[in-house]
Each structure stands twice: as C-alpha cells, then as structure tokens.
Chains A and B, each alone.
Chain A
C-alpha cells in the first residue's frame, strides 16, 4: 500500500507518472495531493498512463500517485435501489451534502451508507456448507425489492458462526466461514466487484419471454426479450430520451438501472422528480422503489463517463444474480464511445474510422454480451439483464461507426425517424427500418399467454404498412384520388394503424401504458374493420361511403377512451363496426 509514483505529464484527464513499478494494469489509484480518483490504462517500463475521473486543473508534475492495489470496483449491497450515483458510484446526494449545488473535486464518499441499519433475516446456520451465489441473508431493500445477500463468487466453505436476525449496517460481519483452504472468511452485507469483469453465472438459458414495455410499437411490432439487447438510434429531437424514459417507467422488469451517460442534467432531474410520483402498475408502489440512476452528465468529467456504463452493468448483474429480471437503459452509448475516442486521442493512439479507436467494436461487443437470460450460481435462480442502448448518430446518419457496430451486436433495432418526430408522431419509431430478431423466439410465449391470433394480426398489420409505403410513392406523384378503391382502403386502414395504434401519448394517463391484451384487441379491431370493409369494396361500393368519419375517429380514439381494464368495450366497438357496414350495404342497395 505504500507504493507511490510521481506525476511527470498532465494533459486534461490523461496523466503520466513514473516510479510506478509494482502498480497493476487497470488499478485504481489516487492522483496528486488532492487524491483524485484515476485508473491505470497503460504501463510501459516504470511509466504509467492514468485516466483521471475528475478535473486535473492545478495539478503539478512531481505530485504523488498512490496505489490502492485493486481495480476500479463498485460496492454491491443494500442501499443501491432508489439512489442516484455518478459514473464511479459516488452518491450524488452525499456529494451535495459535502460540496453544495456544484460538484467539487476530490470528494471521498463511500457508495453505500455506512450508518444505515437493515433488518436482516439470516438464511444459513453454523455447520452449513455454502457455495458461491448462495443466499445467506435477506432484507427488504425497498417495499418491493427483497435484497438477497449472497456468498461472493469464488468463495465456498463451511459456516462457523452466524449473527442472529436483527438490524445491521453494511460493514458488520454477519457470517463467518472457513473456506476450502482452511482460511477464515467473513461475509458482510456488501461485496466489491471490479466493474470491467462480468460476474459469473452457472449457464446461459435460451430466450423465451418478452420484456413487456406497455409501448405498442415495441411489444406488438418489434418485441424485446428478457435477456435481450436493443439499440435506439436517432438524431437529436427524434425522441431517444423520451423513449428510454417510457421504457424505464413501464417495462415489466423487476429492477431498472438507468444510466445517463454524457447527457443533459435536466433529464436526470426530470427522472428524479417524476419517478417517485409514478405508480408501478405491477406493484402499485412508486417507480423509484425499483430504480437506480447512474448520472454522469455531459459536463461531468469525461473519463467517468466511460466508466459509468460499466458501473451500471455491474450493478445490473448483481441484482440478476439475486434472481431478478433487470433492464438497463444506457443513454447514450454514443457519448460513451466518444469518451473512448477522446481518451484514445489524448493517448495518441492510431485512430480507425472517424477518429474512433480500432477497439470500439470489441468494447461494444463486450458490453452487449453482458446481457442474457441466465441460471445463477448458488440455488439456481433465473435472472436476466435486458440492455437498451440509445445511439446518437451525428447528423442522424446511421452509417456512422457507432450505429453500424452496435447493429452487429444487438438483436432489436428500434430506428427513430426524424420526419415522424417533426410530424409529432410519437414514439417516432420507423416501422420500415426497425426489426426484432426475437419475434420468432417470442411468438410461442405471446400466442400462449396473450392470444393465439396475436402473430396473425401483427403480420397482417406489417403487410398493410409495407403496402402503404409503396402506394405513397404513387400518391406523391399523382395524388390519392386516382388510386382504385381497394388501394385507397389500404391507405385508410394504414392511417388507422399509424394514428390509432402506433402513436402513443406518453403524457396521457390512459394511453401511456397498454397491456398486451389491450394491444391485441386494438389491432384486432382495426383488422376486423378491414375485413368487413373489403367485401363492400368488392361490391363496388365507393370508399367515400365506407369511410365514416365518426366511426374512424372513434377507432383512433379507442386508445384514449378504453382503459386497460375495460376490454369488454372493444366488443361493443366490434358490434358497431359490423352494424355500420351492414347499414352501408343496405343503404347502397336501396
């Protein structure tokens, strides 16, 4: 621990030091008199290159670098949920206590509250043999999350001593055990884990369940799986952050990890103010009871932005290991890639595409591969991590390196379209450019659990939208009036799908969240209308008669008028459609 190096070079967040023999690659170090947190990213001879997670203003060559002996790690234990941390897991509320409204440098705070006591229930007794991942104690972290204190990976042995149930703080030793080599070890309420190393699990399972988001365009058209990966690319103003917020609010994951990586400060404040007020439809409790926020906004140090993604995913893995389904939203992975580029530039590495380092695809792959549906160590719980990464392509051009490389490693691509956004069609997800590779794997579950006709309606709607796109090419040239009536019907029905189904109002209490059953019924209604109208067209009844403004507008407004628990109203609507078309036919024949 007495190892000490000496600073010889400073360029923003990149610092070089010599006399660094014995320091480790990726070791966490304290840099300078101010003891700023840094990480060793290069070792050559006795010289180390360090990326510093705080501003280096005022630092002087000759100042010391202190060793910690361990890599950049996070503390995993109770007190994470409901909290907001910076990119290296320092609690922002605590920092505010110390330095006020502005973040100052060199603040040493522990990630988890050392004072707070938790009411724990011990799950093992002396003489038990325990394995990695085994639960030794449980406690209520929030009103909806049972926190399972597990034996850390790599430790197994026989329990010698346990404390009685009761209130303990995170630093207290609750289980003593003798490991397989005969050494005495203790388990506390928290463990540490290096962020850049994936936490181990027993085995990966295949994907079978959807991550239901309550958002129709995703659940019905491009579903994401529990344990799956998705990217949301879109230029500025296309609604990436809005979409990420919607997903964080309404996804049916047990835990949400929201990483604000290099984005706006006000957006994090928005989440902080709004989530505690929102009620989770599954538990009836506040959304914040299952959410953890990592905020490294664009004006916070760039190196910590690079680390924030890893801090987030490591926390996600810890809760996955308890047997929870976790969804991690990263907004935005482009800022993370740019942080890599900035550090790489300052290291004078040879750039590949657009100045990004050549290892960008590797880093992206490593990140997205930490998603998955797994069987845990220990008592074999099932847990999952779903990753949803926003991508911010320069100029909204998807051919740039971050979008292209992300596309290689994700299986859901939710492309946001600027022209939809400027027409205020939200969520502005392009139905032509987006895709989900999970459709096949999830179809069984959806048909079994929602309705067996589910896939049929979905595929029909996609066909209509594709056909409409083709027809619009013609309409642009000659106008809608010259099309034959069967094609005009497709345009009308496509409009119902777009306005009545795909558009979803995030600010409406009724519409912001749709159960899969409601989604199914809505699409079924539109499909039913089409099926009813088609024979009339074949009987040469003009479309102007078929299209009844009142009925069509009722269908468009069904998302607002029919709540999730009023599905029987859809049957009334079906009857009205049927009556309407019967009347049209009867009137026309007269």
Chain B
C-alpha cells in the first residue's frame, strides 16, 4: 500500500505537531517526519479526530517548519526487527544501531507496545538468583522473573550495585543461557560509559543488548526506549528461551519525560504535575517481567530510580513500589559511613522470596533467620533513638548488646567489597554470626533446633 505524504503542519508545540486534512490514519500509528533539510525522524499518533492528528516526534521538533515539513503515516504501530544478532550491539532509544554495525533484519516485526501476559498463562516465579550480595540474597532475595527496583538518590552507588548484580548474578543451574538488556533513559554519558566498561571488563559484553538514550538526547525518545528494550527482552526470553536481566535506568527521567508530554497536551495533572495515568503507564512496563508456562525463558527486571530529594513518597518511587514485587532501598546515611552497598533493609523487601527460599531452594533456616534479622535490626533503631537521648552508657546491658549487633550487622553483613561474591551458605552463616551477638533467649523468630544448630557455631 502506498503511503500518502502530507506537506505542511498546522501547529508545532514542543515535541508535538498537529497535521490536518488527513485520511485513514490509525491511533498509535507510526509516523515518518521529513524535515525541510531532508532529515527523517520518527513519531507516533497520540490523538486523532476526523481530519486532524496530534503526533509526537521522538527526536524532537527543532528544525521543523510549518509549511516545509512533510509527514508520512506508515499504517502500523512502531515495530522492531529482532534477531539473535542484537546481542552485543548498541542501539539508540528508538532501536536504531549507533555502534556503526549493520541494521537488524528479521522477517517478523514486533510491536513495541507488546500485549499483556495473560495471568492464566503466567508461571509463578520460584527460582532464586544468587547475586553474591548478602543483603539481597539473605534478606530480599531476587527471584527469576521478578521485578525488583533499586530506590536510590543522587550520588548514591546504585550504578555500582546494579553492575555488580549483573556481573555476579547466577542462576540455579548454569547451563541455561543468560543475557542482559540494558536500557538507559536520560542518564549521563559517564554513567553509560561506566556500565559498558563494567560489562566489558567482566567479559559479558557479547551477551548484552544496549539501548541508549542519554541526558542530552531528546526527552520524548525516553518514552520509547524502555518499550523497545522490553520488546527485545521478550523476544530473547520467550522466543529464544534465554534468561534475561533487564536493567532500566533511570525511571525518574522516564516519568519526567512523560510528564513533559502530558503537560504539552494540556492534560489534567494529578500529583506533582504527573499525569493521572502514570500508574498504568509504569505498569505497562514493569508487568512485562515474568515467566510463562511451557516456555523456558524469563524476564527479571532491575529498574533503577533516583528519588528526588531522597523522598520515598514521591509519585515515581511510590507508584513503582505499588507495581513492583518489592524494592531495594539505598540510604545516604549508610553510604556516608562508608558501608557498601548502603542498603537500608527495613523499607526494603522482596515479595517473591517467600516462595523461592528455604528447604529445596536455599537452606531450611533461611526464612526464619531472615525474619529474625529484620525484627532485631528494627529494634536496634529504637535503641539507637533512646541512646541519642540518654546516652549509650545509660542503656541496659541487653540494649547495649543490640547496639553491638547493629554495628556488626552493618559492617560485616551489609558491608562487602565491590568484587566480593558471597555464596548463599556464606551469607546465611554470616547472618548467624552477627545475630549471635544478642542472647539466644531474645530470638523469637527462629526455632530451638535452629538455635541449637547455628547459634555461635
């Protein structure tokens, strides 16, 4: 079918253009915009009324003119060509190669919006991924097929942590194929370089697909980038049967791009100016993680977001937390004390760990000792608050042992090296080592047999 070309625009407003006098144009359709100096850009239809379409231009509208711009409607939504060759390649936010290599060709094209996974077709995730990081493996275990975001703040080492997870992540049995899809949304050049270097150094680069939208790339492209990345992940996981870890950073930048677009369209804002559909929109990304019955692969998501002003109630972390299956929260105070990774375990959580740990998965004592560490460390906070009022010396003997436990927990258990890779046995033994600072009679979450076996072992 020949696509009709329209010359001239009715309006240009930020990343949006309005085309009039159109015919037979579909909602959400892909658009090619040709600038006066013959540059080709892509866009998509956001809204249509009888003869008028509002189009979002991914690469921005600078250099467009009202009467010299040409627009072609392509009669299909945005699609991606995918093949095994994407592994080891670098693409921009709309999926075009930027590493000088060839275009990707495939007979089948994939709609980047995907379709929702039928809940009836999902397989409940149960197999844990060993990340080699004690705080995560022991207390907020990552499960294959889970979406577990890192809530961080500016200046905190979330990138180091994500890179370390990508390097060390081990699946139960090692003979399955494993790959990383890395989606950068509005991050700094330095951060992108850090990730690529880290993949290179650990020798996994040929198993990484990279989609880059950097801080100085057009903001609207950020809305497309994660969809492109997740479409590639779905292809690798559910068609090629690979286990995919998707790192998406930074979801705050993504949400801001969405807000910008929403305000350009004059939509009614809800909290902090974000559109009312931010929840649904984020869910359309996060829910693309998971496993499917009868297919071997999986998609595990590790989104990273920086909380503006370290505020966990900000709409982006808040809505994310409502969709994802837990969160890993980094804390500035721990970071300032030189503890890496600075994970504050109390607000952190992995919702899927309950079914993926314990006997047959990790070790039988795992659920109880994990619950005990949470309960005791939570009491440490009360003791610390009291100590700041009456002074450490005035604390009861018991409370002093709690303080000591808190110190050991943070230094020995939480704290570990950037290259230190602890297996699950080491992590759990370490958990018992630090909990043994407090008297056994204080432990109400573990069984007597466990105390017998592991306490002060």
Chain A residues with CB under 8 Å of chain B are 8-12, 16, 55-62, 84, 92-93, 95-96, 99-104, 235-237, 260, 262, 264-266, 268-270, 272-273, 295, 297-300, 302, 335, 338, 341-342, 345, 348, 351, 354-355, 392, 394-397, 418, 422-425, 475-481, 499, 507, 549, 553, 556
Contacts and interface: CB of A to CB of B under 8 A. Distances in A.
Given A61-B50, A237-B349, A423 B325 contact: no
A299 B287 contact: yes
Interface of B: 24-29, 46-51, 76-77, 111, 113-125, 145, 238, 267-271, 275-277, 279-280, 283-284, 286-288, 290, 292-293, 295, 312-315, 318-319, 321-323, 325-327, 346-347, 349, 351-352, 354-355, 367, 371, 374-375, 378-379, 382, 385-386, 389-390, 394-396, 399, 441, 444-445
Nearest to A94: B120
Contacts of A348: 268
Given A60-B25, A479-B395, A553 B441 contact: yes
A507 B367 contact: yes
Contact of B322 (A57, A100, A236, A425): A236
A8 B47 CA distance: 11
A265 B290 contact: yes
A59 B444 contact: no
A9 B378 contact: no
Contact of B276 (A102, A103, A338): A338
Contact of B346 (A272, A297, A422): A422
B88 to A, nearest CB: 27
A423 B346 CA distance: 7
A351 B275 CA distance: 13
Given A299-B287, A341-B276, A392-B322, 6 more contacts: A61-B51, A93-B120, A103-B117, A265-B287, A266-B124, A351-B268
B276 A264 contact: no
B117 A101 contact: yes
A265 B122 contact: yes
B24 A341 contact: no
A345 B312 CA distance: 26
Contact of B124 (A84, A270, A302, A499): A270
15 contacts: A8-B50, A55-B28, A58-B77, A60-B26, A60-B48, A93-B120, A103-B117, A235-B321, A265-B287, A297-B287, A298-B286, A299-B283, A478-B389, A481-B396, A507-B367
Closest 3 CB pairs of A and B: A395-B313, A298-B283, A299-B287
Nearest to B114: A102
A58 B389 contact: no
Nearest to A301: B116
A96 B121 contact: yes
Contacts of B115: 102-104
A425 B395 CA distance: 25
Nearest to A63: B26
Given A266-B352, A298-B287, A479-B390, A355 B276 contact: yes
A481 B390 CA distance: 12
Contacts of A499: 444
B122 A237 contact: no
Contact of A479 (B287, B347, B394): B394
Contacts of A8: 49-50
Given A9-B48, A298-B287, A345-B276, A92 B318 contact: no
A342 B280 contact: yes
A147 to B, nearest CB: 23
Contacts of B46: 11
A92 B118 contact: yes
Nearest to B355: A270
Interface core residue of A8, A348, A394, A425 (most chain B CB under 10 Å)? A394
Nearest to B374: A424
Contacts of B121: 96, 100-102
A268 B46 CA distance: 32
A301 to B, nearest CB: 8
B318 A394 contact: yes
A381 to B, nearest CB: 33
A95 B292 CA distance: 15
A298 B323 contact: yes
Contact of A269 (B119, B313, B318, B354): B119
A266 B325 contact: yes
A9 B27 CA distance: 9
